[in-house]
Amino acid sequence: QEPDAEKNVILNQLGYLPNDIKKVVFRGEKVGEKFSVISINTNEIVYTGEVGNKIYSPAADETNYIGDFSEVTKEGVYKIITDMSGESYQFKIGQGIYKEAFEDALRFFYLQRCGQDISKEYGDTWAHQACHTEMATIYGSDKKIDVSGGWHDAGDYGRYVVATSKAVADLLLAYETNKEAFDDNLNIPESGNGIPDVLDEARYQLVWLLKMQNQENGGVYHKVTGANFPGYIMPQLEISDLIVCPISTTATGDFAAVMAMGHEAYKEIDSELADECLRAAQKAWVYLEQAPNSNFKNPTGILTGEYGDSNDLDERLWAAVELFKVTNDEKYHDKIKGIVKDINRLDCRYGWQGVAEYAIDTYINLPNADDGVLQVLKENLKMTGDFFLSAAKQDGYNVYNKEDIYYWGSNMNVLSLALLYAHASEIFDEQEYIEYANEQINYCFGKNPMAMSYVTGYGTVYPKFPHHRPSVAQEKTIPGMIVGGPNTGREDNIAKQDLEAAPATKCYIDNRESYSTNEVDIYWNSTLIYALAKLGRV
Task: Provide, rounded to whole angstroms, the least separation between the CB of residue 62 and ligand 9MR.
Answer: 29
428 binds, among ligand G3I, ligand 9MR, Zn ion, none (CB under 5 to 8 A by kind): none
Q: Work out whether 156 is an interface residue with ligand G3I (CB under 6 A).
A: yes
Q: Are strands 243-244 and 136-138 parallel, antiparallel or unpaired?
A: parallel
User: What is the C-alpha to C-alpha distance for residues 351 and 484, in angstroms, rounded to an integer?
Assistant: 13
Of 334, 381, 209, 178, nearest to 283 by C-alpha is: 209
340 binds, among ligand 9MR, ligand G3I, Zn ion, none (CB under 5 to 8 A by kind): none
Sorted by sequence, the CB contacts under 8 Å of residue 46 that are 6+ apart come out as: 37, 38, 39, 72, 74, 78
Long-range (24+ apart) CB contacts under 8 A made by 384-393 are 384/345, 384/346, 384/347, 384/348, 384/420, 385/420, 385/421, 385/424, 385/428, 385/433, 387/346, 388/348, 388/417, 388/420, 388/421, 389/421, 389/432, 389/433, 389/436, 392/417, 392/436, 392/439, 393/436
User: What is the C-alpha to C-alpha distance for residues 92 and 14, in angstroms, rounded to an integer?
Assistant: 6
Task: Provide, rounded to whole angstroms, the least separation between the CB of residue 486 and ligand G3I.
Answer: 12
Segment contacting ligand 9MR by CB under 6 A, of 92-100, 149-157, 265-273, 434-442: 149-157
Q: Work out whether 254 is an interface residue with ligand G3I (CB under 6 A).
A: no
User: What is the C-alpha to C-alpha distance for residues 163 and 112, in angstroms, rounded to an integer?
Assistant: 13
User: What is the C-alpha to C-alpha distance for residues 192 and 176, in angstroms, rounded to an integer?
Assistant: 20
Catalytic residue among 201, 467, 468, 492: 467
468 counts as catalytic: no
353 binds, among ligand 9MR, Zn ion, ligand G3I, none (CB under 5 to 8 A by kind): ligand G3I
- Minimal CB distance residue for ligand G3I: 305
Segment contacting ligand G3I by CB under 6 A, of 64-72, 375-383, 402-410, 424-432: 402-410
Q: Work out whether 484 is an interface residue with ligand 9MR (CB under 6 A).
A: no
Q: Work out whether 160 is an interface residue with ligand 9MR (CB under 6 A).
A: no
Judged by beta carbon, residue 156 or residue 201, the one nearer ligand G3I is: 156
Q: Are strands 15-16 and 91-93 parallel, antiparallel or unpaired?
A: parallel
521 binds, among ligand 9MR, Zn ion, ligand G3I, none (CB under 5 to 8 A by kind): ligand G3I
CA distances from 74 to 16, 81, 95, 458, 492 (A): 11, 18, 10, 21, 45
20 counts as catalytic: no
Q: Work out whether 229 is an interface residue with ligand 9MR (CB under 6 A).
A: yes
Give the residue, chosen from 158, 230, 253, 459, that forms a contact with ligand G3I under the rule CB under 6 A. Answer: 158
Task: Provide, rounded to whole angstroms, the least separation between the CB of residue 347 and ligand G3I.
Answer: 8
Residues 471-500 that bind ligand G3I (CB under 6 A): 484, 489, 491
519 counts as catalytic: yes
Q: Work out whether 238 is an interface residue with ligand 9MR (CB under 6 A).
A: no
Give the residue, chosen from 255, 388, 515, 524, that forms a contact with ligand 9MR under the rule CB under 6 A. Answer: 515
132 binds, among ligand 9MR, Zn ion, ligand G3I, none (CB under 5 to 8 A by kind): Zn ion
User: Beta partners for 223?
Assistant: 160
- Asked if 165 contacts 208 with a C-beta cutoff of 8 angstroms, the reply is no
Judged by beta carbon, residue 61 or residue 404, the one nearer ligand G3I is: 404
Of 300, 286, 284, 301, nearest to 250 by C-alpha is: 284
Of 21, 1, 2, nearest to 431 by C-alpha is: 21
- Asked if 463 contacts 510 with a C-beta cutoff of 8 angstroms, the reply is yes
Judged by beta carbon, residue 88 or residue 456, the one nearer ligand G3I is: 456
Task: Provide, rounded to whole angstroms, the least separation between the CB of residue 245 and ligand 9MR.
Answer: 14
Judged by beta carbon, residue 40 or residue 303, the one nearer ligand G3I is: 303
User: What is the C-alpha to C-alpha distance for residues 377 and 390, in angstroms, rounded to an integer?
Assistant: 20
201 counts as catalytic: no
In the chain, count of helices (H) and strands (E)?
16, 14
Judged by beta carbon, residue 107 or residue 152, the one nearer ligand G3I is: 152
Among all residues, which ones are annotated catalytic?
156, 467, 510, 519
| Binding residues for ligand 9MR (CB under 6 A) | 154-156, 229, 305, 515, 519
